[in-house]
């Protein structure tokens, strides 16, 4: 446990937030600090082929030590943290033998990790929790996954008697901004199947995710002095608000769950003259996903019909698709993960991801890639926490998967 905690704390101390407004790969150079450290640590374990490429990908390989004709299995996690909250100067708090009650994260600011707000905390009574100090995110998404993979690799290298096929290790940048595998070389990685260690609470196992699109809409108004604006002014803020109100209220994230998709407005910035709004569109069902995109197009068409053909401009881009289509033909890899969890005393909770992972896009790049729990909760914000025991179990599941494929 101490090694795993030490690794995790070492990794979260490095600010690796990605930047959606940057066009570079990786989007921020500070991510490379952790990637370089991981290469150094892998080589110190004896994995001399560990390398960091110019795009920020860390790849390494452990050769097979068994006569069994086992497929090469990969394990992948991302080094970046979400730009939604600060990832700088993280000061984790370690709560040993958690008593099942509220945790004061920051007394000065009155920030409390409340059992009333997060009742799942009670299941971790008696365990060791790592939390934020109430001012930043923690970075368990996905540095818990990074630490779990590194912990499993360390075990393998220290125990040559542990039988395994070829093992592939990958760490990616920019997952949080949807560009994690833009330049990922699947052939160079060399795995037949892979798993991302990027899920939430203990037991989560996912091979379905949202189909995803991003929309940017520019509204061009006409700013006239308000004293003389009658029948002349076009207030782009009001027009943008009108467009947003045309979308179904019950298909917003705060009103959806399970397999229900949504329209989520993520950006609204405007003046009377010009307004820019952004959406993400999500649905597990591809036909419903296409209908949602078509609905947004029709809303824009209506605005242009009402206010003039050049009033609204839509830029709509698909981001990723539901990996179920690509994973189901290889469902044995999901079964292996379920069995590996059961061997570790963990009850598998197979559920759809209400989001996406690098594995979603990798699955469409001929690398079927389900997602396994990393153990954390409340990602991307100041209430994030991770039970150490969940991280330990995730690392154990990695070893069990490797062992099952080598039988």
The encoded tokens of residue 150 equal 């590194």
Rounded distance between C-alpha atoms, residue 219 and residue 270, angstroms? 9
Rounded distance between C-alpha atoms, residue 367 and residue 75, angstroms? 11
Rounded distance between C-alpha atoms, residue 322 and residue 195, angstroms? 16
Tokens 């598998």: give the residue.
Answer: 348
What is the pTM for the complete model shown? 0.90
Rounded distance between C-alpha atoms, residue 198 and residue 358, angstroms? 9
Contacting residues for 96 by C-beta, under 8 A, at least 6 apart: 128
Please report, in tens digits, the pLDDT of each residue of the chain (407 residues total). 679 999 999 999 999 999 998 999 999 999 999 999 999 999 999 999 999 999 999 999 999 999 999 999 999 999 999 999 999 999 999 999 999 999 999 999 999 999 999 999 999 999 999 999 999 999 999 999 999 999 999 999 999 999 999 999 999 999 999 899 999 999 999 999 999 999 999 999 999 999 999 999 999 999 999 999 999 999 999 999 999 999 999 999 999 999 999 999 999 999 999 999 999 999 999 999 999 999 999 999 999 999 998 999 999 999 889 999 999 999 999 999 999 999 999 999 999 988 888 999 999 999 999 999 999 999 999 999 999 999 999 999 999 999 999 99
User: How long a stretch of residues is the chain?
Assistant: 407
Other CB atoms closer than 10 Å to residue 206's CB: what's the count? 28
Rounded distance between C-alpha atoms, residue 135 and residue 106, angstroms? 8
Which of 166, 175, 206, 283 is an active site residue?
175
The encoded tokens of residue 162 equal 């542990």
Residue 104, class by beta-carbon neighbours within 10 Å (0-12 exposed, 13-18 middle, 19+ buried)?
middle
Predicted local confidence at residue 357, as pLDDT: 84
Q: How far is CA 262 from CA 239, 265, 378, in A?
A: 21, 10, 20
Predicted local confidence at residue 369, as pLDDT: 97
Q: Phi and psi for 321 in degrees, rounded to 5?
A: -125, 165
Residue 79: name the closest of 152, 163, 14, 153 by CA: 14
Q: Sketch the domain layout of the chain as residue ranges.
A: 2-208+322-405, 211-320
Cα-Cα-Cα-Cα dihedral sign, residues 294, 321, 38, 105? positive
Rounded distance between C-alpha atoms, residue 125 and residue 53, angstroms? 42
Contacting residues for 91 by C-beta, under 8 A, at least 6 apart: 132, 133, 135, 136
What is the third-level CATH fold of 211-320? Alpha-Beta Plaits (3.30.70)
Residue 272: name the closest of 217, 223, 219 by CA: 223
Predicted local confidence at residue 355, as pLDDT: 83
Classify domain 2-208+322-405 by CATH number. Answer: 3.40.630.10
Q: Give the H or E element holding residue 76.
A: strand 73-78
| Residue 294 annotated to the active site | no
List, for residues 190-234, the tens digit of each pLDDT value. 999 999 999 999 999 999 999 999 999 999 999 999 999 999 999
Q: Are 359 and 182 in contact (CB under 8 A)?
A: no
Q: Are 80 and 31 in contact (CB under 8 A)?
A: yes
Tokens 């008696």: give the residue.
Answer: 126
The encoded tokens of residue 64 equal 């097979």
| DSSP collapsed to 3 states, 31-69 | HHHHHHHHHHHHHHHCCCCCEECCCCCEEEEECCCCCCC
Q: Are 303 and 312 in contact (CB under 8 A)?
A: yes
List, for residues 103-151, the tens digit of each pLDDT value. 999 999 999 999 999 999 999 999 999 999 999 999 999 999 999 999 9
Q: How far is CA 350 from CA 58, 141, 286, 371, 380, in A?
A: 29, 19, 20, 10, 23
| Residue 175 annotated to the active site | yes
Which of 80, 166, 204, 384 is an active site residue?
80
Rounded distance between C-alpha atoms, residue 349 and residue 83, angstroms? 29
**329-349 per-residue burial string, b: 16 or more CB within 10 A, e: under 16:** ebeebbebbbebbeebebebb
**Alpha-carbon Rg of the chain, whole angstroms?**
23
């Amino acid at each position: 446990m101490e090694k795993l905690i030490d690794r995790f704390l070492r990794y979260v101390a490095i600010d690796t937030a990605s930047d959606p407004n940057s066009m570079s790969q990786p989007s921020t150079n500070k991510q490379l600090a952790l990637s370089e450290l991981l290469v150094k640590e892998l080589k110190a374990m004896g994995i001399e082929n560990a390398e960091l490429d110019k795009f920020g990908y860390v790849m390494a390989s452990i050769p097979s030590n068994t006569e069994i004709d086992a497929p090469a299995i990969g394990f992948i996690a991302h080094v970046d943290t979400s730009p939604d909250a600060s990832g700088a100067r993280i000061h984790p708090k370690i709560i040993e033998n958690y008593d099942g009650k509220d945790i004061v994260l920051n007394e000065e600011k009155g920030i409390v990790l409340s059992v009333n707000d997060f009742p799942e905390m009670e299941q971790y009574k008696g365990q060791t929790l790592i939390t934020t100090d109430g001012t930043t995110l923690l970075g368990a998404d996905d540095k818990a996954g990074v630490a779990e993979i590194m912990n499993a690799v360390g075990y393998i290298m220290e125990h040559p008697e542990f039988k395994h096929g070829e093992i592939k290790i990958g760490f990616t940048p920019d997952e949080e901004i949807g560009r994690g595998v833009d330049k990922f070389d699947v052939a160079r990685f060399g795995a037949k199947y892979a798993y991302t260690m990027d899920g939430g609470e203990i037991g989560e196992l996912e091979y379905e995710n949202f189909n995803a699109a991003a929309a940017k809409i520019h509204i061009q108004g006409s700013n006239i002095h308000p004293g003389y604006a009658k029948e002349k002014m076009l207030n782009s803020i009001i027009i943008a608000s009108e467009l947003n109100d045309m979308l179904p209220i019950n298909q917003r994230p705060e009103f959806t769950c399970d397999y229900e998709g949504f329209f989520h407005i993520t950006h609204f910035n405007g003046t009377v003259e010009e307004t820019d709004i952004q959406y993400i569109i999500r649905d597990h069902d591809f036909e419903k996903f296409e209908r949602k995109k078509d609905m947004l197009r029709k809303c824009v068409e209506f605005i242009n019909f009402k206010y003039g053909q050049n009033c609204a401009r839509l830029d709509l881009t698909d981001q990723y698709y539901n990996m179920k289509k690509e994973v189901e033909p290889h469902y044995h890899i999901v079964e292996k993960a379920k069995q590996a969890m059961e061997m570790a005393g963990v009850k598998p909770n197979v559920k759809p991801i209400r989001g996406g992972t690098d594995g979603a896009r990798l699955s469409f790049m001929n690398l079927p890639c389900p997602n396994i729990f990393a153990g954390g909760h409340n990602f991307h914000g100041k209430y994030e926490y991770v039970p150490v025991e969940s991280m330990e179990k995730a690392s154990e599941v990695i070893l069990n998967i490797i062992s099952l494929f080598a039988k």
